[in-house]
Structure 1
Amino acid sequence: MTVPSHPSGSPLRERMIEDMSLRGFTEDTRRNYIHCVKAFAAFIGRSPDTATAEDLRRFQLHQTQAGMRPPGINSAVSALRFFFTVTLDRPDLSRRLTVVRQPRKLPLVLSVEEVARLLEAAPGPKYKAALGTAYGAGLRVSEIVALKVTDIDRPLDAYMAVRDTRN
């Protein structure tokens, strides 16, 4: 299923939907990209295919000043980059868009007592080992689930192969 095609949908919108379909974008991504381009068009007050580099700069400035968070701004950057690069074949404009860096949060560090209580609460040695490994290595749930016994080296200079990580 695709983003609904409305009789009032512009040829430009239809082309963007087709471009996203050709590339296998998910329904959520399609919906989000259309929303972002509509928001940009509403901001500049005219069709987005007439946009200038200054329009894009002003739009990003507006988003920042309105208190929009980095993930929302970056979502709009991705949508507009796609729109200008693929749908309009105007990559020169898309290069003007700036990704906003999100400050990294420090992880929550448990006290020695809290870690001890966590491990004591484990229902058995298997779970205790999994929790201890996960916390000690800073693994995510998906990384723990993907971990196999063969991923762990047993000598004193032990290492662990972690697969399918985000970064």
Structure 2
Amino acid sequence: MQKSNEQLITELVGFVSEMVPVNVEDMRGKLSGLLSTYAVEKVEDDETHPDLTDNVKLYLANKKLEGMALNSLKSYKYELNTFSSFVKKRTEDITAGDIRIYLAQFEHLKLSSLSKKLTVLKSFFGWITGEEIILRDPTSRLKAPKKEQRAPKSLSIEELEMLREVCKLPRERAMLEVFYATGCRLSEIQALNKDDINLQSMSCRVIGKGNKEREVFFSFKAMYHLRKYLMTRTDDQEALFITLRKPYRRVGHRAIQREFKRIAERIGLGHKVHPHVCRHTFATLTLNNGADIVAVQQLLGHSSPATTQTYAILSDERKREQHKKYLVQ
């Protein structure tokens, strides 16, 4: 630390003496006294600047207070730390060019992934500009790349039935039916407890993104297989889904994902099936069957109907049916 102070004093004295005539020794003494109460540390060119790191921590702390979901916080932290390690500048010195160069190294990623990275950076720089930590937002003129207009991948009715048939364990079938019937996210189902289920109304309340609570519903088929699974358990765990082996505990996110993959591999769909596909399937099939889009939006916990609209892709059979039913001849 002392060495850094002395180096800074030498550079400051040299810089000022080139501009105006000064008593070098006198100036060095005064600067030494002034900086004696400061801890100066030189940031090397290959080091992440602590100013940017501190601002990232401040931003993430604010997002946590606002109720951002834990998984989203982890994702934002990873993206911003990756950016900080690449740029290695003070926050106020970062330019739009720096951000373009950073994003250009991910040319192998899909446009949707690039757009996500830029969204995180826009949120970060927009917030610290609003807090007047920096004077200008370097992302203000950067436009997100146009996303591919593709409908979310979902299962056909035939594929869903095939998955049901190859389930071997009561837990497998119960998971599949609960995920499909409720349209819930992985984190929402993973956090459920047995006591959360209202057997009379065949429903439960889940906590979704932004710490928002909503009610979701089970089908008769989901309730039947859920009860069948719970009857096999002799543990005292509160979690709705637990591990198969002792010591019994709440099943984790990765374990649920592996469970879905194992089921799907039995019919050659291992590459296509994961928990979130059940959510896509719920939305697509219910909308295809004539469900009101506002109702589906609320069941999914979408803040905007535009998000739900991406699922409203009618099948060819449904299109023909609608044409025949509503065409004025």
Q: TM-score, normalised by structure 2?
A: 0.33
Sort the Cα spacing of 1:137 and 1:131 in 2 relative to 1 into closer, same or farther, 3 A: same
Letter in 1 for 2:158: E
Sort the Cα spacing of 1:152 and 1:81 in 2 relative to 1 into closer, same or farther, 3 A. Answer: same
Q: Which residue of 2 aligns with 1:121?
A: 166
Q: Which amino acid aligns with 1:75?
A: V
Q: CA 1:79–1:135 in 2, change beyond 3 Å: closer, same or farther?
A: same
Name the CA distance, whole Å, in 2 between partners of 1:158 and 1:104.
Answer: 36
Give the AA of the match of 2:52: M
Other structure's SS at 1:147 match:
coil
If the length of structure 1 is used for normalisation, what is the TM-score?
0.55
User: Cα gap change, 1:6/1:59 in structure 2, threshold over 3 Å: closer, same or farther?
Assistant: closer
- Pair 102,6 (structure 1): closer, same or farther in 2 beyond 3 Å: farther
Report the 3-state secondary structure (helix = DSSP H, G, I; strand = E; otherwise coil) of the residue aligned with 2:203.
coil
Select 1:93's aligned residue among 122, 125, 136: 136
Change (3 A) 1:49 1:133: closer
Once the two structures are TM-superposed, the CA of residue 153 in structure 1 deviates from its matched residue by 2.0
In the alignment, which residue of structure 2 is the partner of 1:161? 205
1:152 counterpart (197, 203, 206): 197
Please give the alpha-carbon distance, in whole angstroms, between the structure 2 residues aligned to 1:108 and 1:78: 28
Change (3 A) 1:18 1:50: closer
Deviation, structure 1 residue 120:
1.6
Q: Cα distance, 1:35 vs. partner? A: 4.6
Deviations 1:87-141 (A, max 9, x none): x723x52397278496786333322222222112112334312211211222233
Q: Where does the alignment leave 5 or more consecutive residues of structure 2 unmatched?
A: 1-40, 62-73, 211-300, 302-329
Equivalent residue runs for 1:67-106 within 5 Å:
69-81=114-126, 84=129, 89-90=133-134, 93-94=136-137, 97=140, 100=144, 106=151
In 1, Cα distance between equivalents of 2:126 and 2:169: 51
Q: Which residue of 1 aligns with 2:152?
A: 107
Which one of 178, 182, 207 corresponds to residue 137 of structure 1? 182
3-state SS of paired residue (1:8)? coil
User: Residue type of the partner of 1:16?
Assistant: L
**Conserved in 2, the CA contact under 8 Å of 1:33 and 1:79?**
no
Q: Which residue of 2 aligns with 1:16?
A: 52
Residue 81 (structure 2) pairs with residue 31 (structure 1): yes
Count of residue pairs the alignment pairs up: 147
Alpha carbon RMSD of aligned pairs, Å? Answer: 4.5
How far residue 70 of structure 1 moved from its aligned partner, in angstroms, is 0.6
